[in-house]
Structure 1
Amino acid sequence: MLFLVLGRGKTGSLVADVAHERGHGVRVVGEEENRNAAALTGPFLAGFDAVIDFTTPESVVSNMRACLANGAHMVVGTTGWYQHLDDMRSLAARRGAGFLYGTGFSIGVQATLRVAKELAKAAPHYRFTITETHHTDKKDAPSGTALSLRQALQAANPSLQVEIVSKREGDVAGLHVIEAVSENDRIELKLEAFSRRGFADGAVRAAEWIVGKTGVWEFSTIASEL
């Protein structure tokens, strides 16, 4: 397959490396080459099996509009844009595109989401806090994974009020700590990413999965198929 990777940052570059390792051809386009999605024309996009976006919250909306309007198959790992999700769903449906987005393209994130739901059910009267720490280059806060963890907790126990604390330090790939506290004890659930490779591998597998498909999916709903 031939993939287009949008973004020359650390994660985007690693996505390209993983795609090469899995036997795919890759073209990488940086933001400096793609101001306001100017590079994403119909003829250009037609040459790729799928597009993978790891850019910034400021760039990703224009990229999604251009790709989906041309019926492309797109995987978006960028976060911080979800206020536009309904518009992107509608555009993908109108144009017959394939669109897959998510906040944590790793097995560890998906496993933590499942465990978080069970914790919320098992400790319904505890006070919950999520603390997330990422590298200083990360633009959005809270992280998409932290928001998904809060959503998972509240889906299992709608009465929960979950505070999120965001920190930006050094080159931290991703650290999420769920803390549940009562008068008697404290429970901690921690997910620490040692590198961005787990996210890159998941994104490439997601791109392989979406080729030839039409529709809209959130990564957690198809992760078990990869």
Structure 2
Amino acid sequence: MRVLVLGVGKTGKLVAEVAAERGHSVHVLDATENKDGAALTAPFVAGFDVIIDFTTPEAVVSNMRACLFTGAKMVIGTTGWYDKLNDMKSLAERRGGSLLYGTNFSIGVQLMLQLTRQMATALKDAGYTFSISETHHVSKLDSPSGTAITLGEAVRTIIDPHKEIPISASRVGDAAGIHTVEAISPNDRILLTHESASRRPFAEGAVRAAEWLSTRTGVYDIRDVFDKL
């Protein structure tokens, strides 16, 4: 498989390494080579089977517009752009492209999301108050993290769609990512925590997602397909 990786941050570099380890041909573009998506011309994009984006909230939308317009297949690991999600879904569908997006491609985090929904369902009428906390490395641009927002949405949808779930965010050193869902009652406290030891699970999940997407057309949320990867 021919893979184009957009972004050479810590996760983007690891995505490229994992893709190469899995036997794929990999090309990487950094921000200086692809300002405002200018490098993503139709002939260039046509040379790849799948494009994986781990750039920034500012760059990702331009990248998606350029690539999806050509009917390309894209896996988006960048977060902080979901106000444009409907536009990008529509573009992919109109142009016959493929889009797989998600706030976290780690299988462990996806399992945590499932457990969070189960916990919220079980405690819905039991008098518990929910909150989310997350800790990431100091260079992470979005705060709170997309994963924390997704966890909060999972709880809110079940407990009360009209009530925001409090989220606290910390940026410390080189932390790969810690997410905790807390449920407190007058009598006890329940904690559900996922702690990443490295970014490799994110990178492996993104590459597996690209392999899965390479034979499909359509728009997918990682939450709906992670068990197929």
Q: Is the 8 A contact 1:89 1:216 kept in 2?
A: yes
Give the 5 Å matches for 1:27-176. 27-124=27-124, 125-158=127-160, 161-176=164-179
User: Do residues 207 (structure 1) and 210 (structure 2) align?
Assistant: yes
Query: 8 Å contact 1:33–1:39 — kept in the other structure?
Result: yes
Amino acid in the other structure paired with 1:31? A
Matched AA of 1:23: G
| 1:34–1:40 Cα contact (<8 Å) kept | yes
Pairwise CA distance, 1:158: 2.5
Query: What is the rounded CA distance, in whole Å, between the counterparts of 2:171 and 2:98 in structure 1?
Result: 33
Inter-partner Cα distance in structure 2 for 1:72 and 1:55? 17
The more displaced of 157-166 and 185-194 is 157-166
- Stretches of structure 1 that go unaligned for 5 or more consecutive residues are none
Partner of 1:216 in structure 2?
A: 219
CA drift at 1:224: 0.8
CA distance in 2 between partners of 1:93 and 1:118 (Å): 32
Q: Which amino acid aligns with 2:207?
A: V
| Offset, 1:154 | 1.9
The question of whether the paired residues in 2 share the 8 Å contact of 1:117 and 1:155 is answered with no
Verify the 8 A CA contact 1:103 1:148 in the aligned structure 2: yes
For 2:74, give the aligned amino acid: M
Could you tell me whether the CA contact under 8 Å between 1:118 and 1:156 is conserved in 2? no
Q: Distance in 2 between matches of 1:148 and 1:111?
A: 13
Q: Determine the structure 2 residue equivalent to 1:15.
A: 15
Cα distance in 2 for residues equivalent to 1:212 and 1:156: 34
Identical aligned residues as a percent: 57
Moved over 3 A (4+): none
Unaligned segments of structure 2, at least 5 residues: none
Say whether the 8 Å CA contact 1:134–1:168 is kept in structure 2. Answer: yes
Superposition RMSD in Å? 1.0
> Which stretch has the larger CA shift, 117-126 or 59-68?
117-126
Cα distance in 2, alignment partners of residues 113 and 219 from structure 1: 11
1:118, CA displacement in angstroms?
1.1
Equivalent position amino acid for 2:175 in 1: V
Q: What is the one-letter code of the residue matched to 1:212?
A: T
TM-score (norm 2): 0.96
